[in-house]
Structure 1
């Protein structure tokens, strides 16, 4: 008796059953890999009921899907596929572009970032250029491009360290010998209160490394705030020691927090553990924060890992 191939098994399944099977996979695999398997799988990944079920229980409504190009699938990608963090690699924004951005109306489900004068500069950069804007600001006594203390500096390419494998051609932020701190404000005014009051889970990640011959520390925080800007929940990585000239990634899932989310503040800090001058502190880049649906939490939480625990990938 000839055995049937997996393809034959899939073809024999009713569409509704096959859609349930796809729901057992991560959404990113459904949208990318599964759609490339064959015509049947591609058609299944376009099914409206599949994406509406992925959005189930999140506060997203049929009206939201109607207003979004691409229906439920388009709505899913708009809400869950966008990095809430602007300038994740500390890239410059030309001052003319920044001026235009200030007058643009936000689209639905688009995060709002506070535009701040950019004083993070490359080492060889022409200081006579008009300052561009950045979405990152200093915190506390930190100063952009100060020669020591709690200063921070944009490096492109990174000095004394190989490029980040996740962002080979992107700038990194280097810190000095005291805690150099930057932060970014993320407003969620265009996200519906019904969606936000469901306390949607989110994933935070950042790549970091140390300079060759320079042990250092990195610390990151994500503060969730209500309408009055009171912190209703916070996640803190603690002090993480870098590995010299080796990039690693911190990933953490944040969920189960109280209702009332209206804005987020992301804080990144680094320092050197040995040098008393220069930018020998921790380096970082590729900062990412995005919402994930409740049905996808299980794909991000490692076995035995509870809420808000961070995983460091080597």
Structure 2
């Protein structure tokens, strides 16, 4: 019984599932019908919209075509009107042209008539000209005969003048010989005077050397033990013996200060500072004072700057000025490369710097050598310490003496060169630039000229605080040749001058 009941329930369940399945199928069918109807409706709506858009587009195109047709029709009407106007103008132009042609024809006929008259007149003129030429020809024959006579007379005069000129040249040659003899006589006289001056100068030099020897003896006389010891040659194996007899030393300390200063003024400045100043306090005070140096400045022109410094600064360091001589000398060391590259900061380019002999002499240079650059920039610089060279702060800041810089540069024959220079006046920190000079002369092209060219400048009123001079120059060639064919530089100068 239970089995039947379960079978019955199972059948009911199956029926129920079939019924649900039918419902689902029915609902799916309804959904599909609704979806198809919706799609169909959308298609109809889209078709309707497309039709409406197409109709609107066609209407717009028709409207635009009508407007274009109207515009075209208007343009054609305007063109037709223009053509009619142009045709009317062309007719008027043709009539005007025809009138002009008729006037031109009438003018040509008139000109032809005039030309005939002119031809007849020209023919008459030619006949008259022919008659005149015949008359002139007759006259020219007479003139040629007269001219021939004049030329013969002129030739005779020229021969006479030539003869007189020869005589005058002979007289001038005689006068020139006489003047040459007079010049030779003057040269002989001048050579005699020079010989006399040379002998006088040699005598003065000999007297000066004698005086210096006497001053040396006097100096050694102040320290007799040192003089005797320095006079003996040193030998460790030599037996001790009595020193050789020396002349009796003079007692200079008994002389007054004026006479002692006069005697010391004949001693060179370096010997005064390094030797005479160490003798005693009195000599030290005299050498540190102005009297000895003023006497030397008055006697030797190259020391005249010492007197100028004395007028500018009330209390200059006399011994320092006399020993270092900072004025009027070149403060650049090794300016011509005689010591290769010593004292220079060098930057090599290409094949680097080289030192060679000058192709032509440079007047006043300490050596006839030069620095030669290569096919790339070769740079060289030197820092000049003005205080170490003998100057002092008071003079540089208050008076600001003239600082003169100069450089000589050139090129090798057959090659070209480029050169540049930059000189700066620096403060004590070596970085602050107070004044500057820079020059880039035109480059030297290929030529047979090997002469040097000078670049110079004078620093004046440059301001307070100058302590160093930075001197920099550079050079190279323009042909990029391997080797040393660039700019040649020599005799670089930094000089302090007192006016």
TM-score category (smaller protein): 0.5 to 0.7
Residues 196 and 43 (structure 1 numbering): CA distance in 2 closer, same or farther, change over 3 Å?
closer
Match of 1:231 among 420, 430, 433: 433
Corresponding residue number in structure 1 for 2:471: 266
Cα distance in 2 for residues equivalent to 1:47 and 1:165: 23
Question: Which of the residues 396, 415, 418 maps onto 1:217?
Answer: 418
* Residues 1:203 and 2:450 aligned together: no
Q: Which has the higher helix share?
A: 2
- Structure 1 residues 44, 82: closer, same or farther in 2, change over 3 A? closer
Hey, what does 1:309 align to over in structure 2? Answer: none
Mapped pair 1:64 → 2:266 = no
The structure-2 alpha-carbon separation of the partners of 1:44 and 1:83, relative to structure 1 and needing over 3 Å to count, comes to closer
Higher relative contact order (CA 8 A, sep 6+): 1
| Aligned twin of 1:46 | 299
How many Å apart are 1:186 and its aligned residue?
1.3
Task: Indicate if the aligned counterparts of 1:165 and 1:247 stay in contact, CA closer than 8 A.
Answer: no
Runs of at least 5 residues in structure 1 that lack an aligned partner in the other structure? 1-41, 93-117, 121-133, 297-314
1:26-69 CA distances to partner (integer Å, 9 max, x unpaired)?
xxxxxxxxxxxxxxxx9994399x766633664x344423x358
| CA distance in structure 1 between the partners assigned to 2:327 and 2:306 by the alignment | 13
What CA distance in whole angstroms lies between the structure 1 residues aligned with 2:367 and 2:411? 18
CA distance in 1, matches of 2:443, 2:488: 11
TM-score, L = length of structure 2: 0.35
1:137 to 338, 342, 345: 345
**Distance between the aligned counterparts of 2:439 and 2:470, measured in 1?**
14
Q: Does 1:86 align with 2:294?
A: no
CA contact (8 A) 1:214 1:275 kept: no
Map 1:132-171; keep pairs closer than 5 Å: 134-138=342-346, 142-143=347-348, 148=350, 151-155=352-356, 157-158=357-358, 161-167=359-365, 169-171=367-369
RMSD over equivalenced CA pairs, Å:
3.1
1:3-18 equivalences under 5 Å are none
Residues 407 and 493 in structure 2, CA contact (< 8 A), matched pair in contact too? yes
> Cα deviation per residue 1:87-130 (whole Å; 9 max; x = unaligned)?
111122xxxxxxxxxxxxxxxxxxxxxxxxx6x5xxxxxxxxxx
Shift of 1:168: 8.4
Say if 1:137 and 1:183, in contact at 8 Å, map to a contact too: yes
2:382 is aligned, of 175, 184, 194, to 184
Aligned equivalents of 1:249 and 1:178: distance in 2?
Answer: 22
SS at match of 1:218: strand
CA distance change for structure 1 residues 219 and 261 in 2, over 3 Å: closer, same or farther? same
Report the structure, 1 or 2, having the larger strand content.
Answer: 1
1:34 corresponds to which residue? none
SS, match of residue 55 in structure 1: helix
- The answer (yes or no) to whether the contact 2:371–2:488 under 8 Å persists in 1 is yes
**Between Structure 1 and Structure 2, whose CA radius of gyration is higher?**
2
C-alpha deviation, 1:218, in angstroms: 1.5
User: Aligned residue for 1:32?
Assistant: none
User: For structure 2, which runs of at least 5 residues remain unmatched after alignment?
Assistant: 1-294
